[in-house]
Amino acid sequence: MAISDSLKKLQLKFVFRKDAEIGGNKFTLQVLSFKEEQKIQLLPTEGIDGIAYFNEMQKSMLAYAIRAVDGEEVPDIVEVTDQAGAKTTKERAIYLKEVLDGMPSALIERLFQVYVDMRDQKESEISSSLTYSWYKTPDQREEERRKKEEEAEEKAKAKARADAEKAAASEKKTDVPNPDADINLKKLPTDYSDEKGAKQP
């Protein structure tokens, strides 16, 4: 198999589609490619407030994401007939953006939420399928961080116990008499007779 065929197969492997039925119509959505996402990021923002920009961004993303309606594939180049009967061609994303501009906002919002859920699911599947030994998932990194924190906490507790034992031993040592110190012992008499009377020979 030629390398071009292998790469094409790899590209198709990561194509992710899902159907969403809304209002009796079925929309087939596909996760955007890196190139398509870059085009969305180039949308003009000058003179557009936050809400208006977000609405335009939603419709632009859906214009790239929608690939079929009611089972009929939308071609990359769409032939359009205007009111005068003249035929022109438009790119799929441009044509669908014009169609979406005439759709209810509730439909746009619902379709966009379906797309976001689908994209998140695909990203999760890709992340969980990585098996390189040097790669660590977010869960693995979190587990490593937790273990390091536990080890640091145990070390701190052990040091605190050692310091406390050392301090206690130091205090105990100060209470023990010095064996080298002079000790004055009172000499007891060898004769235990009463002091008032002398012992008879």
Of 79, 100, 129, which residue is a domain's last?
129
- What pLDDT is recorded for position 106? 92
The whole-angstrom separation of Cα 162 and Cα 179 is: 28
What CATH number did the domain enclosing 66 receive?
3.30.2220
Q: Is residue 57 part of a domain?
A: yes
- For residues 29 and 118, the answer to whether their CB atoms sit within 8 Å is yes
Kindly report the backbone phi and psi dihedral angles of residue 90, in degrees, each rounded to the nearest multiple of 5, phi listed first.
Answer: -135, 150
- In terms of Cα–Cα distance, which of 72, 115, 73, 77 is closest to 93? 77
Is residue 52 pLDDT above 90, yes or no? no
Average pLDDT for 35-57: 84
Over residues 125-152, the pLDDT tens digits come to 877 776 666 667 778 888 889 999 999 9
Q: Is residue 85 part of a domain?
A: yes
In this structure, are 32 and 125 located in the same domain?
yes
Residue 91 DSSP code: E
Q: Is pLDDT above 60 for 5?
A: yes
The model's pTM is: 0.59
What domain count does the chain have?
A: 2
Domain coverage including residue 155: 131-166
The reply to whether 67 and 142 lie within a common domain is: no
Angle subtended at Cα 45 by Cα 40 and Cα 50, rounded to the nearest 5 degrees: 100
pLDDT at 201: 46
- Confirm whether 17 is domain-assigned: yes
> Quick one: 77 and 157 in the same domain?
no
Average pLDDT on 154-169 reads: 88
> How far apart, in whole angstroms, are the C-alpha atoms of residue 194 and residue 122?
109
Taking 90 as the threshold, does the pLDDT of residue 100 lie above it?
yes
Averaged pLDDT score across all residues of the chain: 82
